[in-house]
Structure 1
Amino acid sequence: MMKTALSQQKSYTDKRRRDPEFAARDHIFIKITPMKGVMRFEKKHKLNPKFIGPFEILVKVGTLAYRVASSPNLACVHNVVHVSMLKKYMGNPSHVLSFEPLKLSPKLSSEEKPILILDRQERRLRNKVIKLVKVKWLNHSDEKAAWETEANMSSHYTELFRKP
């Protein structure tokens, strides 16, 4: 019964799903995936996807892809992008966009590195004490700092724990 119910839900969703449509000269954001070296709770992609841009759509290629006018620092990335990687930019004259140049791999991912330890904390379990550090990551604000285990961080990023 469960398999039948899932099949019905999938067919219902598939019938009503529409991929976003863009026209030439529309402005869009491109989704990239931040990557980092530390495995936290066995999840490699801890940080949420980011959108960079805005970029202008030049032409539609096929049914689900668009050719995008990208900046020179994204020369290593292919300029034809699938519709699932795009998000429409709604123009507003009061928007002041600051473009932070990121080093992207050809797979549209950027490397995340810790740059500063902001705080330390100990969590006590019944038989164990876990030391945590609050880490500020490159290309992220202080509000997006994340708590990581000190053991993981010290084994992967020893330079953060050197005393001056």
Structure 2
Amino acid sequence: MIVGLPDSDGYDAIFTVVDRFSKMVHYIPTTSKATAIDVANLFVNFVWKLHGLPKKTILDRGPNFNAKFLQQLYKRLGVEPHFTTAYRPQVDGQSERANQFVEIYLCHYINHNQNDWVAFLPLAEFTYNNGVHSGSKQSPFFTCYGFHPQFAVGDTSEQVVPAADDHANILKKGYEEAKAALSIAQEVYKKYYDRKRCIAPTFVVGEKVFLDAANVRTDRPSKKLSHKRLGPYEVLEKVGRTSYKLKLPKSMKDHPTFHVSLLHGNPTDEFGRNPEQPPPVVTPQGEKEYEVQTILNSKKKGRTLYYFVKWKGYGDEENSWEPKVNLKNSPDLVRQFHERHPDAPRP
């Protein structure tokens, strides 16, 4: 699921479905607030009617997919869910590659206001499915159908129909843009994957390790600085060859198994000392949240209000834009900011 997109025809997210065998992809516009029932309906309306039901699925452990309704739906239909290790995008690499392609394509082709991306999803989907996959050495279309669908825009006809000619030229240009985006996405993904395949550290049971905070879900949408690490947490067991199960606090609702690329030993400086870190604030739910020192600015993006935050104990290079919902524990700072800047965007 790609979320956080600008509103386009009432949609702000893309539900990506990839077939593991053929690599065929479907880009389905949806909303970030889609429920388990919504996701199930999308699957039936856009995937099942074309391909039938899958024997197995690989899900991303997002709240939509983990909802009890969807689990029961799969059970009744005889589908066996298989979950990826928490936050290990390489495991579900086909979806990551498909998502990266459509993001690159839309960034280059949508209008300045970024509110027309839904109109370009069909062309993006066609281009991806008509492109040769590096693993199978053939396109998803050819794998499924045994041929490549035709896409050819002829020269302008003698009978002048300006609107039709303009539309044909737009399609032709869009197809060329999409093919270029696919090449860029394949190159970027290869570099990313190769970098992640470097020699990984090993840990022993009982050792304390730190966990990357960037993707950690909490009961509240509290902000963790992207470079910060949570922990340390005790290693309970090694799972497979490259993952570890951690002893997490009860307040953390995450799946406790993480890929080694997200784990780090005790960080020290060049003198072997533990680096000093600003002490985190412990919320009533027992979660660790980094403290806001002050609010510097505000802006609205679509319907969402953002605040430019300076974090206590960190330099200005770590200042970041945060949605209003992330500042639920800082109402006094929000009030003080608007008192100082009465004309700044506000709720």
TM-score under structure 2 length normalisation: 0.26
Q: With CA pairs under 8 Å and 6+ residues apart, which has the higher RCO, 1 or 2?
A: 1
Higher helix fraction (1 or 2)? 2
- Larger radius of gyration between Structure 1 and Structure 2: 2
Higher strand fraction (1 or 2)? 1
